[in-house]
Chain A
Amino acid sequence: MDTLAKILMIEDEPDIRAIAKLALEAVGGYTVELAESGADAIAAYERFQPDLVLLDVMMPGMDGIETLRRLRSAGGGREPAVVFMTAKVQRHEIEQYLALGALDVISKPFDPMTLSTVVQQIWDRRNGAAG
Chain B
Amino acid sequence: MAPQADPDDSLARQLRALRDSYLAELPDRLEALAVAWSTALEGERGAVARLRQLVHGLAGSGAVFGCREISTAAAAVERRLDELLDAGSTSAADLLPLAPQLDQLASIGWRYASNRSTAEQTSATSSDSSRPSSA
State the interface size on chain B (CB cutoff 8 A): 23
- Which of B58-66, B83-91, B100-108 has 4 or more CB atoms under 8 Å from chain A? B58-66
Cβ contact within 8 Å between A19 and B64: yes
Give the Cβ gap from B10 to chain A, nearest Cβ, in Å.
Answer: 8
Give the Cβ gap from B15 to chain A, nearest Cβ, in Å.
Answer: 6
- The B70-99 residues at the A interface (CB cut-off 8 A) are 71, 75, 78
Of all chain A residues, the one with the shortest Cβ separation from B25 is A15
State the total of A-B contacts with C-beta under 8 angstroms.
50
Give the Cβ gap from A34 to chain B, nearest Cβ, in Å.
Answer: 14
Say yes or no: is A27 at the interface (Cβ < 8 Å to chain B): yes
Cβ contact within 8 Å between B60 and A22: no
Cβ contact within 8 Å between A15 and B7: no
Encoded as 1 (CB less than 8 Å from any B CB) or 0, chain A from 15 to 29 comes to: 110110010001100
**Chain B interface SS verdict (over half):** helix
Say yes or no: is A60 at the interface (Cβ < 8 Å to chain B): yes
Say yes or no: is B22 at the interface (Cβ < 8 Å to chain A): yes
Q: Which residues of B contact A15 (CB under 8 A)?
A: 18, 21-22, 25, 61, 64-65
Q: Which residues of A contact B65 (CB under 8 A)?
A: 15, 19
Of all chain B residues, the one with the shortest Cβ separation from A85 is B60
Of all chain B residues, the one with the shortest Cβ separation from A26 is B11
Residue among B21, B61, B62, B75 facing the most chain A CB atoms (10 A cut-off): B61
The residue that A87 contacts in the complex, of B18, B59, B68, with Cβ under 8 A, is B59
**CB contact under 8 A between A109 and B11, given known A22-B18, A87-B75:** no
**CB contact under 8 A between A87 and B64, given known A22-B11, A26-B11, A26-B14:** no
Of all chain B residues, the one with the shortest Cβ separation from A110 is B64
Q: How far is the CA of A17 from the CA of B63 in the complex (A)?
A: 14
Cβ contact within 8 Å between B7 and A13: no
Give the interface of A toward B (CB within 8 A). 12-13, 15-16, 18-19, 22, 26-27, 58, 60, 87, 108-112
